[in-house]
Structure 1
Amino acid sequence: MFMKKKVKVVAILLIVLVGSISVFSFSSKKISFYPEKVKVALRSVGNQLLLKNNDTTSLVLPIKRISDKTYEISFQKEIAINPEELVEIIDVELKKTELPQNYITELIDCTTKEVSYSYEVLGPIEENSISCIGRNFPESCYTIKVMMLDDTDHSLYGSVGNVYTFSMFVLLLIAMSSLTFFKRKEQNNTTEVNSNHRIIGEFLFFPDQQKLVKDETEISLTTKESEILNLLARQPNQIIKREQLIKEVWEDNGVIVGRSLDMFISKLRKKLTNNAEVKIVNIHGVGYKLEVTTKN
């Protein structure tokens, strides 16, 4: 039983450990991978714009992360920008990588540093009114700035992530509650056993229940047998006088019980025979002694 309890406790601790690592790992990915996902999406935006210009040789320069939520796309050569294509391409690439649909885009002239065109998107593109769709911007040096307004809805930590975290939180609560329950139960059982039993060699002796237990095998005792064994077990390896045994077990009621004592001692010896560490020794003319030896 004790081993089973230990296994349960170890299992609970493992669940808590795995749950904690999983939640931490999931949360860490949300923070660590988000910028890389944005950069991948915006680099694809830049490549799509070059293709719209029939340019298959020049490069999209490395995406710059200006701040936590602001990024810039720049090009090796001058490029013409069609606002309608810009809106459509950014929308498609952000959806493809399951990034937030709330953002602001600015088209900035590299020479003057002025904003040539900008628009804001909140939610699905069809629900937003985008101005200057019919206007084309001639070939020039442009930087496209994209400012993400919300980073809580991407794939790494979307609804699945929220459900997962909630489930793990509930699991942790259950595990901690179970651990506390088993700990208290084990403490209660230990207290109960310690206060109601004696250890005699390989036996557990329960005076109140009048029984011996060894390897989950119970040996029943009579009331007198239990009382006599209890007196002997109080002072193991010490002589208990016959007069004391008779007085405390038979309460000195005047009945001749000498032979009865010997008879009960004989019965106890038989019940203790399967434990070589324990034996009741007769000290002739004096009394009895419960000898308990310990194996090396």
Structure 2
Amino acid sequence: MKPGLKYAFPVLGALLLMLSLTSILQSNQQVDERKVRMAMRQIGHDYLLGLGDDRSTVPAVEKSGELSFILPLAREIDYDSIMTITQGVLTKFELRQPYSLALLDCGDGQEFLGAFFDFTTGTRINNDLDEAACRSREQDARCANLSLQLHPDDPGPGTGFYLGLLVGLSFLLIGPVLDWSKPRQELTLDADAPRRLPLGTEAALLPDVQRLEWGGQQHELTYRECKLLTYLAENPNAVLAREKIHDAVWGDEGVMVGRSLDVFISRLRKKIADIEAVSIETVHGVGYRFRVG
């Protein structure tokens, strides 16, 4: 497996896991409180119009808790009428969560009539809140305020969450698994393999072991031959001045006597003569060029 892929899989896996966990921590539905307040005022307006009252002011909506609001109408309220109006207004304002609708006593604020509703059907849901639903009993006329509480749906993790979790964990593991599946011998050879400088398409120079390889054969080089050929191979197709070559190959080891460089060039030419597309050219008055291609 390519080294880049070995690290890409765990990174992608971590991102998928993070996205999956983030999605489950976030609420499935975000409720706009401003929209809820407007909806409650619309409920109050429609209820008063149903009583033939088009002049009274609809009071401001008060927040009483998390997604819980009170409309202080401060009057006797017919629960059946307000229930029907509420369902229609919530539909109009696209507030499609289950909700509880209750009447609160103006004096002590206690809930004396209410129920929990399924928005989709508009019917009551049997749960603990239904203990306050006493619509079947005779009620005394009393001053009441309207309470509305929304209950956003929380169906729990969906298919996407579990799929993201599974793929994310798989990606985290696939890189190490594929890496471990490599033969141990291959890993050892890769780690200990000497440096290789390609010479054309069919040969290679191994400067660490002073060896030239091509055609399935190995050719040993002297220290100076290897150092000279390494410098030339590291600068393919570049015109290299004699002085520059001397500094790179001999350095401070002393002054090159006579035509020593030419002698070593001649030796190398013989050793690479059978390698196609590779040659050492003389650039008259300047130096040499290692031609590749």
Could you state the TM-score of these two structures normalised by the residue count of structure 2? 0.52
Inter-CA distance 140–202: structure 2 relative to 1 (3 Å threshold): same
Which of the two has greater helix per residue? 1
Task: Note the aligned Cα RMSD (angstroms).
Answer: 4.8
Q: Is 1:199 matched with 2:195?
A: yes
- Give the letter aligned to residue 161 of structure 2: T
Q: What is the CA–CA distance in structure 2 between the aligned matches of 1:24 and 1:272, rounded to whole Å?
A: 60
Q: Is the 8 A contact 1:110 1:142 kept in 2?
A: yes
State the distance in 1 between where 2:16 and 2:59 align: 42
Specify the alignment match of 2:57 in structure 1. 58
Counterparts of 2:279 and 2:76 in 1: how far apart (Å)? 99
8 Å CA contact retained: 1:201, 1:275 = no
Question: Which residue type is aligned with residue 149 of structure 2?
Answer: V
* 1:18 CA displacement: 4.4
Deviation, structure 1 residue 163: 1.9
Per-residue CA distance 1:238-280 (angstroms, 9 max, x = gap): 99xxxxxxxxxxxxxxxxxxxxxxxxx9996345676689xxx
Distance 1:53 1:267 in 2: 109
Unaligned 5+ segments in structure 2 are 206-212, 227-267, 281-293
Q: Give deviations 1:88-110, integer Å, cap 9, x for gaps.
A: 445563894332x3x65431122
- Counterparts in 2 of 1:22-37, with a 5 A limit? 22-27=19-24, 29-30=26-27, 34=30, 36-37=31-32
1:132 aligns to what SS in structure 2? coil
Distance 2:74 2:274 in 1: 102
Aligned to 1:180: 176
Q: CA 1:84–1:276 in 2, change beyond 3 Å: closer, same or farther?
A: farther
Identity of counterpart residues, as a percentage? 8
Instruction: Tell me the TM-score normalized by structure 1.
Output: 0.51
Counterparts of 1:125-144 in structure 2 under 5 Å?
Answer: 125=123, 131-132=134-135, 140-144=143-147
Unaligned runs of 5+ in 1: 204-210, 240-264, 278-296
Higher relative contact order (CA 8 A, sep 6+): 2
Tell me the distance in 2 between the aligned counterparts of 1:220 and 1:185.
Answer: 31
Offset of residue 122 of structure 1:
7.3
Alignment of 1:33-48 (within 5 A): 34=30, 36-37=31-32, 40-41=35-36, 43-48=38-43
* Cα distance, 1:139 vs structure 2: 8.1
Per the TM alignment, residue 181 of structure 1 is displaced from its structure 2 partner at its CA by: 3.3
Could you tell me how far 1:73 is from its partner in structure 2? 1.6
Give the aligned residue type for 1:74: L
